[in-house]
Structure 1
């Protein structure tokens, strides 16, 4: 029997294996070296950023989407009725261009706001300016934008027009409603109006009405110019008052988010916290008239990567109150509307 001889070379003396080992060691060193090199692109974590311009665009788009249009014969005038029941009545020949009545059809535009969510998401909160410059919260019975155009021409209102609010249940009726206009600074604050120019502040009139659904009341007033007008009354509160600060998460400021103060028990009392304290890096209200013991909800909204984000926190005001908001959550606009209108 032949025995086949096999030639076994000691592993340590194998040139092939030696080369393999050398290559493995070299590769390990390269991997180790590469792992120690910091890649700036990999280490940089891009956090989503709040977009103030996108938030402002959302507010503007909401106002545009809420604009209703009606056609009237300028020579005849007439009454328009909004989807929520607001009526505006125009006299004949009351639409003008450069002081001269126009003829033919005109387009009348109307926005009507009656709830807190619409006030916030159209950025039409109510903060009034007293004659002495003090700012105080207002309770609203409705906000209205009324305008008219003919083709590309913006028109003037040559004669007084009458505004009637939607029907109001008698249980929800409040006396003392006045007419407010946007102030000349166009910063969202409101001043008491004198629409007829008689030197006196205008008050809304309450009229009774009735229909298939029973009896109701309406607020009524006249306007002498197009634009925004409000049915408001001063939110007169008593007791000791304090300054309120809102501490928002890092990266948020007055340029990229909006913070509002919602008064519990008042369906249409909403003030924007529009002052940013640069030293404290907090929002505040600049009028210093928040009653201690008042129950409120703080609402914060921002636009992040095309997504609406929010925070809502209920609190009771204490002396030197600082409310801390730690985070925001994404939400759809309809869902946020439901939450806001469901607040106490």
Structure 2
């Protein structure tokens, strides 16, 4: 590794430094070694990060974000989410085992439009290309749409249309396409954490583009992104974060008590309000977080976001940096915070 090009910051409590010291101590006789041994009674009483509690927090946030609407299956109709998303269903488009049903159905909707929503719901914008390469995406909205009748999960027999919340013309991106999570039935539930894949809702062999529709409201002209879905589950309005310059890997060194099982680490792209990648690879040999693809642009300004649950309290670290070749970023400690305060900090990032 080209250590002369690595970026080390906040070396206190660093695993990198700790491993160096361990090597040195292993070759030396230290007279005071016994006094440096940790007291197991103290270690046992120190609150530890709880990965199960963190995952439950993510799932609870999704459940709390879930809105429910009642629609007559025979007539169909439109629902409108609290953030402005519209979903329109055709008549007789809800079914079980391929057959239309009658009566009322419950339609469920989750809308995620900002980075804070992505973090607290653990829904990053990491996409997987057909060749298996992974790359960050820029999002114009993530949506979970489902329907039930009583205890029965329903199928979508006819295409439904999704319209995003209003978008200022200055913020429109004509390159937005449709993405779905996963390629099988294990990736269509509310608790799905699969990566995003290019969608082909009409089965024509091509990735689906989002359509832009002009509109006029009380506050003046605006536009919306529009697309169709052929099945229930998660969808995302995205485009690939393409970059033509030099790229590199990035490694995140976290305090010693943290690992892939008890915390979450994200990479927030400055200047991109909805580009957020999760550092979901943990190198157990180096004890460092990294990512799949090694395509982080050199010179890019980013913020590292780390979250964990400790003794029932949310903890965080947010650290800004500029990416250099073979980047290593050191997070030395986390601080307690409330979830609303964390959301405010994340949405206030550049």
* TM-score, structure 1 normalization: 0.87
Name the residue aligned to 1:334. Answer: 340
1:188 deviates by 2.6
1:238 deviates by 2.0
Name the residue aligned to 1:223. Answer: 229
Name the residue aligned to 2:250. Answer: 244
Distance in 2 between the 1:213 and 1:73 partners? 32
Name the residue aligned to 1:302. Answer: 308
Q: How does 1:1-344 map to 2 (within 5 A)?
A: 46-184=45-183, 186=187, 187-344=193-350
Distance in 2 between the 1:167 and 1:293 partners? 33
Q: Deviations over 1:116-153 (max 9, x none)?
A: 00011001001111111110000000000000000000
Q: Deviations over 1:232-285 (max 9, x none)?
A: 000111211111000000110000000000000000000000000011000001
CA RMSD of aligned residues (A): 1.2
Q: Deviations over 1:31-60 (max 9, x none)?
A: xxxxxxxxx996665111000000000000
Distance in 2 between the 1:205 and 1:294 partners? 30
Distance in 2 between the 1:105 and 1:276 partners? 46
- Report the 3-state secondary structure (helix = DSSP H, G, I; strand = E; otherwise coil) of the residue aligned with 1:220: strand
Structure 1 gaps of 5+ residues are: 1-39
Distance in 2 between the 1:286 and 1:72 partners? 42
Structure 2 gaps of 5+ residues are: 1-38, 188-192
Structure showing greater Rg: 1
CA 1:139/1:42 → structure 2, altered by over 3 Å: closer, same or farther? closer
Higher RCO by CA contacts (8 Å cutoff, separation 6 or greater): 2
Distance in 1 between the 2:268 and 2:313 partners? 23
Q: Deviations over 1:85-140 (max 9, x none)?
A: 10000000000011110100000000001010001100100111111111000000
Distance in 2 between the 1:43 and 1:304 partners? 16
The question of whether the paired residues in 2 share the 8 Å contact of 1:127 and 1:188 is answered with: no
CA 1:95/1:48 → structure 2, altered by over 3 Å: closer, same or farther? same
CA 1:60/1:42 → structure 2, altered by over 3 Å: closer, same or farther? closer
